[in-house]
Amino acid sequence: MRQFDVPEPDYDRYTNRQLVAIPLVILLLAVLVVGANVLLIGAPAPLGIEFTGGTELTVDTSASSGEVQSAFDSQPESIQSVEGEDDRYIVTFGPDAGSASELQQQAEGSLEPSQGDDLIQGVNSFDATFAENTQQLALLGVVFAFIGMSVIAFALFRVFVPSVAIVISAFSDIMIPLAVMGLIGFELTLGTVAALLMLIGYSVDSDILLNNHVLRRGTGGDFYDDVYQAMKTGVTMTLTSLAAMATMAVVAFFFGIDLLVTIGAILVIGLIADLMNTYMMNVTLLRWYRFEGVKR
């Protein structure tokens, strides 16, 4: 009852240039978007309060979103209603809106709690200087993680092109979701950083598998056979993860668990990018290496 099989692509119909063009153009676009964001707003994507400072209140109130808006002395940055919870709002303030306790008092002073419930359900407040340093620390963490991954990639294969292929692919797998986040205004939080790091892991998984099948197994067989063997396993892996993450994102969205929504959504975008990068860019780089690069 085998229900699906990974189709075998006709790689020989396309030249290396044709195959590599699409992932490279998309990577270039992603880098442009991320670069533009860094220039315009000083970050690859809009930053959440963990990185800018500010306060997030979760309130259960019978008031309308307009009333919630006017309940505070300073204008909230955003008011978000929660899917599946009618009376729940997540109100976000910038770092200048006052302390967490002031905002709680303002809310308690002017909003009616919904029936039999506490008004303030959640508070999350970050000091601005602390948050700014968190930002640098998170950047540092991602950079170190990336460098560590690159070192391992080189140590494992000890040949330039295939190792570089792993590194470029992982870079692209991170850049594309970042660019998408920047475009749709998805905020960068600690949760998204976690998701981007998970992507490094997933990305490297499928790349190592591919490189291993082509370079190390030494069957001496046909290049395309080797690639197809790796693909059958690799695509199954990625699709399984994709299914899990997409489900998690959708379910968590209805429950209003932001952390899991962000992680799921980023991974879905990143895993799709990884399919493209692994089986268009990496395969091509390996093909070049196998048929032309080795001769040099």
Q: Which of left, alpha, beta for 256 (phi over 0: left; psi -120 to 50: alpha)?
A: left
Calpha distance 55→111 (Å, rounded):
18
CB of 250 to other proteins, least distance (A): 9
- Span 174-213, contacts to other proteins by CB under 8 A: 190-191, 193-194, 197-198, 200-202, 204-205, 208-209, 212
Does residue 86 interact with other proteins by CB under 8 A?
no
Closer to other proteins by CB, 7 or 148: give it.
Answer: 148
- The identity of residue 205, as a single letter, is D
Closer to other proteins by CB, 154 or 288: give it.
Answer: 154
DSSP alpha helices (H): ranges in 42-83?
A: 49-52, 65-70
Specify the DSSP class assigned to residue 75. Answer: -
Cβ atoms of 288 and 262 within 8 Å: the answer is: no
Which listed residue (146, 223, 224, 228) binds other proteins by CB under 8 A?
Answer: 146
Q: Got the DSSP string for 261-277?
A: HHHHHHHHHHHHHHHHI
Cβ atoms of 264 and 244 within 8 Å: the answer is: no
CB of 117 to other proteins, least distance (A): 7
Closer to other proteins by CB, 1 or 40: give it.
Answer: 1
CB of 114 to other proteins, least distance (A): 11
Tell me how far CA of residue 77 lies from CA of 91, 111, 180, in angstroms. 8, 18, 22
Site string for other proteins, 87-126 (x = CB under 8 A): ------------xxx--x------------xx-xxxxxxx
- Span 224-283, contacts to other proteins by CB under 8 A: 229, 232-233, 236-237, 239-241, 243-248, 251-252, 255-257, 259-260, 263
Where do we find the tokens 């080797």? 226
Does residue 134 interact with other proteins by CB under 8 A?
yes
CB of 86 to other proteins, least distance (A): 14
Write out the H or E segment, with its range, that includes residue 58: strand 54-60
Measure the CA dihedral 197/198/201/206, to 10°.
-130
- 60 — phi, psi (to 5°)? -105, 105
Calpha distance 226→210 (Å, rounded):
8
CB of 102 to other proteins, least distance (A): 11
Which listed residue (127, 154, 275, 288) binds other proteins by CB under 8 A?
Answer: 127
Which listed residue (74, 130, 221, 292) binds other proteins by CB under 8 A?
Answer: 130
Which part of the chain contacts other proteins (CB under 8 A), choosing from 7-15, 71-79, 135-143, 275-283? 135-143
CB of 177 to other proteins, least distance (A): 16
Closer to other proteins by CB, 139 or 161: give it.
Answer: 139
Specify the DSSP class assigned to residue 85. Answer: -
CB of 201 to other proteins, least distance (A): 4
CB of 113 to other proteins, least distance (A): 11
| Cβ-Cβ contacts under 8 Å for 138 (sequence gap 6 or more) | 51, 190, 193
Does residue 139 interact with other proteins by CB under 8 A?
no
